[in-house]
């Protein structure tokens, strides 16, 4: 169950890389804009910082442009790049053409198990369901992960759950069948901490003074 950093902030990427257990980095146009970077340059720099997979989302206005953009960015590091493509009918067709060429495609903005099914049919390496957005807009995000896992069973397509806002939500999607999760740095740090763990450390330290 690999853990990905969801960020285009290079400082966050460096801090995450230092932890030693982050599998890779996912980016999207919003994160890139928030970091004040050019998307392609951001990906090049992230590839230099971290050893694992890196995800880049195409943004061109038409299929031809997205196709060219996908090929260009994939060539940055073919063994590690995954091209994120939003889930629409024309983009599923695009992903099929790209995967047939050996380009790793990750279908993003997934909201339904039907979209997950199509992602499996076109050979996507990943789907990225927007869990919290599903819950707040149309229903049960964790339940959608469970349905996607059932639909994709027996396929190589992995579920990297995105749009996660709390530790409880992260754990719920993993239990529901997500293969991986992608979350911001602050939530990664929260996974490691609990007030009772800190209390136990204080208790052990106090006891050690009398040993």
Known catalytic residues are 84
Alpha-carbon span 187 to 181, nearest angstrom: 11
For 2, left (φ over 0), alpha (ψ -120 to 50), or beta?
beta
Token pair for residue 45? 């720099």
Going from the C-alpha of 188 to that of each of 28, 105, 120, 140, 194, the distances in angstroms are 18, 25, 28, 23, 13
Crossing angle for the helix pair 63-74 and 39-49, to the nearest 10 degrees? 30
């Amino acid at each position: 169950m690999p853990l990905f950093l969801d960020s285009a902030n290079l400082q966050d990427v460096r801090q995450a890389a230092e932890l030693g257990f982050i599998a890779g980095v996912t980016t999207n146009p919003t994160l890139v804009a928030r970091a004040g970077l050019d998307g392609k340059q951001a990906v090049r720099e992230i590839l230099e910082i971290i050893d694992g997979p890196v995800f880049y989302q195409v943004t061109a206005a038409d299929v031809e442009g997205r196709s060219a953009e996908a090929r260009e960015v994939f060539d940055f590091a073919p063994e590690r790049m995954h091209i994120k493509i939003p889930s629409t009918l024309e983009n599923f067709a695009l992903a099929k053409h790209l995967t047939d060429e050996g380009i790793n495609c990750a279908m993003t903005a997934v909201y339904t198990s039907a979209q997950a099914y199509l992602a499996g049919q076109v050979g996507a390496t990943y789907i990225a369901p927007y869990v919290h957005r599903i819950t707040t807009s149309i229903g049960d995000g964790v339940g959608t992960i469970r349905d996607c896992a059932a639909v994709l069973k027996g396929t190589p397509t992995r579920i990297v759950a995105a749009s996660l806002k709390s530790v409880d939500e992260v754990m719920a999607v993993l239990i529901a069948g997500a293969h991986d999760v992608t979350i911001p740095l602050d939530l990664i740090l929260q996974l490691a901490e609990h007030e009772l763990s800190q209390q136990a450390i204080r208790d052990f330290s106090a006891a050690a003074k009398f040993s």
